[in-house]
């Protein structure tokens, strides 16, 4: 296929938006640079109608405001594959909201597909092979290579045909309303705004004592500043395992840094002095200034709740097998736990179960009540 046009001006985007307003269905995707920069950003957008594919380069200065109305219009279907991240990025970077969503990845999951990545789905239905070398490409680099442009276009140009197949299968299985509810919830997702210490978002911080926590926070603050200075992702400065190991070990000399998992001689040469300075500063903090890890009220183990949870899991496994679905897609563990604790006894009691979706109540409600009775 010939290379799609790349729009670089606001005037071109406005003209495209006017054309898209006349469409009933649009396939959409985006490429970001999360693997290569400190603050990820949208670097390219792809739009496919049934007739053509067009790319937009927001890094060239094109404003995306003209697209807001068409992307928010619920009467125009927007096809995405794995829309969660894209919806969050569009809202954060451009204040764009998506309505009228159809997600082909969620559809594939609800059809019981074992492999539901875009490359796997396109290979199965159309024998199309996506070039995986571009999945981790730096999409902020310019100019884009011909291979990258073709790869970006392939992400959307097959989605119209794919929807026809998946939607028919969902109708045949009686699951179209299931995914439609999932789509409506997905349209509302946004990136969380994080405040407070960095250790609150660090896996494993809850296992540390207060002094170790102070060391970890000092190291995290340093890494964050260094990643900003270099404009690179956090993991390219230093990995989480090394930071956690340092927080536990609290090394005070270069010889001790050699014991830290994942800390190579090259990294010690480059960062050793700065790491030791951060650790030393944390070790000198008075006890009264040491951070405290916030802990919610610990739930007491309830043997009856655990029995109900076990029965619910056994029931879920059986129903998921009958429906040929992944058990976690059918109903996740967090929801099973809430059901086991609140133990609804009648359909009216489901109003207290916040996470329970309408399709789950309709399809699984009777079975849940039977297991819990």
pLDDT along the chain (373 residues), means of 10: 93 98 98 92 97 97 97 98 98 98 98 96 95 89 95 96 98 98 98 93 96 98 97 95 97 94 94 97 97 81 94 98 97 96 96 95 97 94
Residue pair 187/49 in contact (Cβ under 8 Å)? The answer is no
Judged by DSSP in three states, 286 sits in: coil
Domains detected in the chain? 6-187 (3.30.420.10), 198-284 (1.10.150.80), 303-372 (1.10.150.80)
Write phi, then psi, for 249 (nearest 5 degrees).
Answer: -80, -35
Residue pair 187/73 in contact (Cβ under 8 Å)? The answer is no
| Of 23, 104, 6, 110, residue with least CA distance to 58 | 6
Distance CA 271, CA 127 (A): 48
Residue 2's pLDDT is: 86
Is the pTM above the cut of 0.95? Answer: no
Residue 301's pLDDT is: 84
**Residue labelled with tokens 């380069």:** 57
Distance CA 147, CA 42 (A): 19
| Of 171, 103, 175, 169, residue with least CA distance to 362 | 175
What is the CB neighbour count within 10 angstroms for residue 160?
17
């Amino acid at each position: 296929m010939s290379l799609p046009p790349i729009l670089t001006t606001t005037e071109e985007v406005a003209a495209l938006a006017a054309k898209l307003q006349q469409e009933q269905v649009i396939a959409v995707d985006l490429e970001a640079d999360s693997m290569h920069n400190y603050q990820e950003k949208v670097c390219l957008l792809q739009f496919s109608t049934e007739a053509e594919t067009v790319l937009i380069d927001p890094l060239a200065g094109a404003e995306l405001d003209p697209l807001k109305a068409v992307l928010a219009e619920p009467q125009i279907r927007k096809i995405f594959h794995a829309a969660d991240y894209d919806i969050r990025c569009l809202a954060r970077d451009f204040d764009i909201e998506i309505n009228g969503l159809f997600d082909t990845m969620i559809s594939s999951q609800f059809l019981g597909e074992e492999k539901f990545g875009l490359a796997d789905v396109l290979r199965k239905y159309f024998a199309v092979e996506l070039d995986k070398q571009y999945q981790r490409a730096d999409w902020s680099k310019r100019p884009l290579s011909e291979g990258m442009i073709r790869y970006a276009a392939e992400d959307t140009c097959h989605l119209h045909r794919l929807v026809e197949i998946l939607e028919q299968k969902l109708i045949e299985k009686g699951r179209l309303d299931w995914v439609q509810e999932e789509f409506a919830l997905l349209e509302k997702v946004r990136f969380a705004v994080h405040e407070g210490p960095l250790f609150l978002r660090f896996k494993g911080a809850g296992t540390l004592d207060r002094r170790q926590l102070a060391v970890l926070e000092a190291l995290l603050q340093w890494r964050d500043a260094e990643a900003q200075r270099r404009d690179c992702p956090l993991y390219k400065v230093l990995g989480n395992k090394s930071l956690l190991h340092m927080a536990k070990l609290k090394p005070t000399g270069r010889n001790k840094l050699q014991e830290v998992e994942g800390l190579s001689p090259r990294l010690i040469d480059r960062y050793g002095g700065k790491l030791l300075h951060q650790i030393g500063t944390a070790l000198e903090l008075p006890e009264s200034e040491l951070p405290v890890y916030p802990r919610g009220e610990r739930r007491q183990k309830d043997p009856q709740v655990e029995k109900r949870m076990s029965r619910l899991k056994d029931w879920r496994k059986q129903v998921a097998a009958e429906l040929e679905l992944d058990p976690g897609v059918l109903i996740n563990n967090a929801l099973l736990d809430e059901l086991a604790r609140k133990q609804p006894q009648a359909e009216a009691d489901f109003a207290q179960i916040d996470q329970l979706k309408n399709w789950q109540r309709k399809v699984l409600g009777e079975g849940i009540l039977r297991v819990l009775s």
